Amino acid sequence: MSAREKLADLVREGGNSLAGLSRMLGRNPTYLQQYITKGSPRKLEEDDRRKLAEFFGVPESELGGPEEKSYDTNRDWVEVQRLSVDASAGPGAAPGAERGFDAFRFSRKWLREHGLDPANLSAIRVVGDSMVPLLREGDDLLVDCRPGGFRDGVYVVRFDGNLLVKRVASQGKGQFSLLSQNLAYPPISVSADEIDIIGRVVWKSGRL
Mean per-residue pLDDT, 46-58: 89
DSSP annotation of 174 reads: T
CATH number of 3-63: 1.10.260
- Tell me the pLDDT tens digit for each residue of 160-183: 989 999 999 999 999 999 999 999
- What pLDDT shows up at residue 70? 44
- The structure's pTM equals 0.62
Q: pLDDT band at 87, cuts 50/70/90?
A: confident
180-199 confidence digits (pLDDT tens): 999 999 999 999 999 999 99
Q: Report H helices in the chain.
A: 3-14, 18-24, 31-38, 46-56, 73-76, 108-113
Q: Which residues pair with 111 in a beta bridge?
A: none
Range(s) within the chain of domains with CATH label 2.10.109.10: 73-205
Quick one: CA torsion of 188, 151, 132, 83, rounded to 10 degrees? -100
CATH fold of the domain at 73-205: Umud Fragment, subunit A (2.10.109)
Residues 141-151 have a mean pLDDT of 91
Q: What is the tens place of the pLDDT at every residue in 21-46?
A: 998 898 999 999 999 999 889 889 99
| Cβ within 8 Å of residue 45, ≥6 positions away | none
